[in-house]
Amino acid sequence: MFKRVGHVLVITALIAAIGGHWAVLQTVAWTTMLADNLRECSLTQAVGKTFDGKHPCVLCKQISAGKKSEKKAEFTLELKKLEFTHADLRFVFAAPTAFTVLTQRTDTIHVFTQAPPLPPPRSILPG
C-alpha cells in the first residue's frame, strides 16, 4: 500500500514539474465553461463559444496569468568563459635518503623448481 502511495506521489510530482497542473486546471475551466454555455445555447454553439478564445472565464484568465508569471520566474542561464592560468610544472627526481640491498633467498626458489610427483596422488583422482 505504501509503495502505491509513493508511486502516486512521484507521478504527481513529475506532472507538476513539467507543467501538467496547468493542463488539469485548463481542463476544469473548459468543462465548467462548456456546462455554463450549454445552459444558454445549443451544443455546437456552446462548444464554439467555449473554445474560440474570445470568451475566457475567470479561471482561464487566472491560468493565463499564472503561466506568464511562471515563465518570468524562470532563471536565465549565464554562460561564462572559464579561464585557466598557466602553471609551470617541474618534475624533481629525488633519490631516497636511506637505501639497503636485500639479500636473495635461495631456499624458496628450490621448492618451485621441483617436478610434480608421478603418478598423481590417488586422493585427488575421482571415484
End-to-end CA distance of the chain: 56
Cα angle 71, 74, 80 (rounded to 5 degrees) comes to: 135
> Taking the mean position of all CA atoms in its chain, how far away is CA 47?
41
Tens digit of each residue's pLDDT (9 = 90 or more) over 5-62: 989 999 988 888 888 888 888 999 999 999 998 999 899 998 898 888 888 888 888 9
Tens digit of each residue's pLDDT (9 = 90 or more) over 10-19: 998 888 888 8
Do 25 and 59 contact (CB within 8 A), yes or no? yes
Residues contacting 33, CB < 8 A, separation 6+: 49, 50, 55, 57, 60
